[in-house]
Chain A
């Protein structure tokens, strides 16, 4: 049986100063819905490039990617944008929030491109921020928020469109321990609700602790693919990331 997300001989090569860099080199793998996959490896091993390829943000130079029966490598640029708009949520190490917009507007922006009616957007963005414990930060700009809060706004932005898969690229890389833990808890919680999570991290211990499966990359190739022994099937006994989850919290992460 074919996995929900598969790659076969996936390559992403590019030229840099007359040298060919093999950022992703003949990667073949399958990921099922609802998995929590951690991609680990040293800097420059190709983790982020693999993530970008799976998220449809980058295009492969060889091989193919299939998500839910759809060949991403064959999609037009416009169709690939639609894929990102409707099925993918992304979280980055450096948050990548729009600095001049409020938290609410940042989250709302994610709904510009997936066809959500204008009148619905604000309500959904508001609900999502409340669910992630940012109900009192709606009108704040990123510069006025702490790193943890910014990453939670970024999470809200990724989740508000109810994606099928969440890609997190070093989501805790810029956070202190407490905030990192809160974000990881949130990811575990979301995965527990059925959302597929693919997380890139260089922290092997953390990956082993939270992910159900770990892919190890080295020089563009997947050199290890193993279930994480320590991974727990559900949310651990940790305080919830969102202090006051709203009673009308949307059902996120289940996909169609």
Chain B
């Protein structure tokens, strides 16, 4: 018996029990639709995460941060300064290393004044992800151009909805920076006499030596220390600049990653920092600067104050594990997003499995319906089976005919179920979109129906249905033709 004959025979048999077959198929449709919707949700989320990693350029990125000092550590903690930055940028597999430079300013735009963080980046960094994605390829005209990019975060702060109208507008940023003059003014009572006295006792050239510096600070400054810090923090000078907004970078807002509200060229930040002792008045940085002695070195391009973070842009094929080892050997902590991504992918396997199981439970329930239909069918078709056997059908052919029948139920149910599942997810996605828009949340589609899922659902539908038909089919094959054909 040819396969085509089996299909003919099976479809003919199903057609005769249309209503029952339709109800059985409905069970499969619901199960497959659930299966598809569940896995489509998992796939949608995975796509969203993968897109985030790609769009933000995370797979070629390693973040380097200073590590905590622990005596037990075999590698001594190092300071993440300009020198370290240069070393990191020459590591094998590293294409570029750039620091995280952010400082707080008062910004005025659209008749509103707000306090905001400003991120400084170089032109080179602006050409790579996530910045290139964020602003759609717009680049500052030069390293010290008086230009700025504002992000969705900034728009929220100043209460502007249509960010595009800010493009071409002016934004004034200002900050108060500490100066060595104001710091020392707090320490010294009679400037001339005390300064002469201190200058006489302190060897300034040796202040870079930590031991000597500690002794000097303890000996010379004593209670003046607090006045010194007070001077640095509270008696500051104001630095301001007027910048032109060249773009609104809100193209990665959907990924909800923290982005500084304002981005400026590195040159602007350097101008701000060279006016005082630091680009920030963060007391922690101040202490680092004091401890390392760098507080007394000039600011600007070569200032050696520590960065909170340095980002490494790696070659696409570079081994992140090897780079991490090198970074740690230098005395820093390293975090690879690519390594994290592997964990995320592992998580998605469990996620798929968990959601898939829900769909499979539904399918298992539907399979009971198939088994029931098939068993009823055998009872009703005993004579037909007997006739076919008398005509020469062997057990295998009878078994196969019934399996094809249950497989057909599965195939039709799966095909319609996939369609229903897809339509269902589209409806839910549309509703979610409306809700997200109303809540002013970043809009994204949590569902996707990849081709593999279509084939998987079809395969599962057919396989589970055929498995459900196995027992009835073997019962059909065992029907005794003599008994089946015996009179009416």
A interface residues, Cβ below 8 angstroms from B? 49, 52, 55, 57-58, 77-78, 81-82, 84-86, 88, 90, 92-94, 96-98, 100-101, 109-110, 112-114, 118, 157
B390–A57 touching, CB < 8 Å: yes
Whether A92 and B485, one on each chain, are in contact in the complex, defined by CB atoms closer than 8 angstroms, is yes
- Please, could you name 19 A-B residue pairs with CB atoms under 8 Å apart, sorted by A? A55-B390, A57-B389, A58-B481, A58-B482, A78-B394, A78-B395, A81-B393, A82-B394, A85-B392, A90-B390, A90-B391, A94-B487, A94-B488, A96-B485, A97-B387, A112-B5, A112-B391, A112-B392, A114-B392
> Which chain A residues border B176 with CB–CB below 8 Å?
none
The CA-CA distance from A88 to B390 in the complex, in Å, is: 9
Kindly list chain B residues whose C-beta atoms are within 8 Å of the C-beta of A49: 482
CA distance A112 to B396 in the complex (A): 14
Chain A residues lying within 8 Å of B145, measured Cβ to Cβ, are none
| Nearest A-chain residue to B394, judged by Cβ | A81
Measured between C-beta atoms, what is the minimum distance from B447 to chain A in Å?
Answer: 43
Given contacts A81-B393, A100-B16, contact A109 B488 (CB under 8 A): no
Residue of A nearest to B487 (CB): A94
| The residue from B2, B5, B386, B482 contacting A96, defined by CB atoms under 8 A apart | B386
Interchain Cβ contacts within 8 Å, total number? 72
Cβ-defined partner of A113 (8 Å) among B392, B482, B488 = B392
Task: Output the least CB separation between B98 and chain A (Å).
Answer: 72
Chain A residue, CB-CB nearest to B480: A58
Contact of B12 with A by CB under 8 A: yes
Is the CB–CB distance between A96 and B481 below 8 Å?
Answer: no
A46 to B390, CA, bound (A): 19
Query: Which of B9, B389, B391, B395 has the largest number of chain A CB atoms within 10 A?
Result: B391
B4 within 8 A of A: yes
Q: Which residue of chain B has its CB nearest to the CB of A82?
A: B392
For chain B, residues 371 to 399, give those with C-beta under 8 angstroms from any C-beta of chain A: 383-384, 386-397
A92 to B484, CA, bound (A): 12
Asked whether any CB of chain A lies closer than 8 Å to the CB of B202, the reply is no
Q: Is B1 an interface residue (CB 8 A)?
A: yes
* B2 and A118 form a contact (CB under 8 A): yes
Chain A neighbourhood of B386, CB < 8 A = 96
Q: How many residues of B contact A (CB 8 A)?
A: 26
B477 to nearest A CB, angstroms? 10
Closest beta carbon of chain B to A104's beta carbon, Å: 14
Q: Is the CB of B393 within 8 A of A112?
A: yes
User: Do the beta carbons of B394 and A52 come within 8 Å of each other?
Assistant: no
Q: Is the CB of B383 within 8 A of A113?
A: no
Give which listed residue, B391, B393, B395, contacts A157 with CB less than 8 A.
B391
CA distance A118 to B1 in the complex (A): 10
The answer, among A52, A77, A78, A85, for a CB contact under 8 Å with B391, is A85
Task: Pick the residue among A57, A82, A100, A113 that contacts B481 (CB under 8 A).
Answer: A57
Instruction: Give A113 Cβ to nearest chain B Cβ, in Å.
Output: 4
Contacts of A88 in B (CB 8 A): 392
Task: Tell me how far the C-beta of B419 lies from the nearest C-beta in chain A, rounded to whole angstroms.
Answer: 30
The residue on A at minimum CB distance from B390 is A90
Report the bound CA distance from A190 to B57 in whole Å: 85
The CA-CA distance from A113 to B390 in the complex, in Å, is 10
Query: Which residue from chain B places its CB closest to the CB of A53 in the assembled complex?
Result: B482
Provided the pairs A57-B482, A96-B386, A118-B2 are in contact, do residues A84 and B392 lie with their beta carbons within 8 angstroms?
Answer: yes
Which of A78, A109, A112, A118 is the most central at the interface, judged by chain B CB atoms within 10 Å of its CB?
A112
Q: Which residues of chain A have C-beta atoms less than 8 A from B391's C-beta? A: 84-85, 90, 109-110, 112-113, 157
Closest 7 A-B residue pairs measured CB to CB? A85-B392, A81-B394, A113-B392, A84-B392, A78-B394, A58-B482, A112-B1
> In the complex, what distance in Å separates the CA atom of A96 from the CA atom of B487?
9
A17 and B2 CA atoms in complex are apart in Å by 41
Query: Bound state CA distance, A110 and B393, in angstroms?
Result: 9
Q: Which residues of B contact A118 (CB under 8 A)?
A: 2, 4-5
B16 CB contacts on chain A under 8 angstroms: 100
Bound form: Cα–Cα A145–B9 in Å: 22
